[in-house]
Amino acid sequence: MNQKKELKVLIVERDELSARLVAKALNIISKNILIARSEVEAVEVCRNHRDIDLILMDYKMTEKNGSEVTGQMRHYNKDVIIIAQTAFGIIGNREKALKAGCNDYISIPIFKTDLLN
């Protein structure tokens, strides 16, 4: 269990309440959770913390598209697990996210058990 507590997680979410809820759910697996409220901030966090293990990213942020941001984050950490999340379960978005370099794609609302799995 201690090994799991060493994970470094970045939550990329523009909505503060949503970010807090996801962070609370992830406290079980990580004691080191970072939050970025924009794509620009997310890329900066990745540049400054190249040891991030997991990124949960709102794929429909306002400034840039998720594909572009994923590529920029991968520039700093090729091995990080990136999971795109969105409330817009539009057909084809999963494939776009995976093609852009995300490891997985989940729809919101996120259930704690699904997230931890």
The helix (run of H) or strand (run of E) holding residue 54 is strand 54-58
The structure's pTM equals: 0.83
Distances (CA, A) of 79 to 42, 69, 83: 16, 15, 13
Q: How would you write the pLDDT of the chain (117 residues) with one tens digit per residue?
A: 444 567 899 999 888 988 898 898 888 888 899 999 998 999 999 999 999 999 998 877 655 667 788 889 999 999 999 998 876 666 677 788 888 889 988 876 666 666 666
- Alpha helices, H only, 13-65: 16-26, 39-48
Are 38 and 11 in contact, with CB atoms under 8 Å apart? no
Kindly list the structural domains of the chain, giving each domain's residue range(s) and its CATH number in brackets, ordered by start.
8-116 (3.40.50.2300)
Closest alpha carbon to 56 in 94, 2, 110: 110
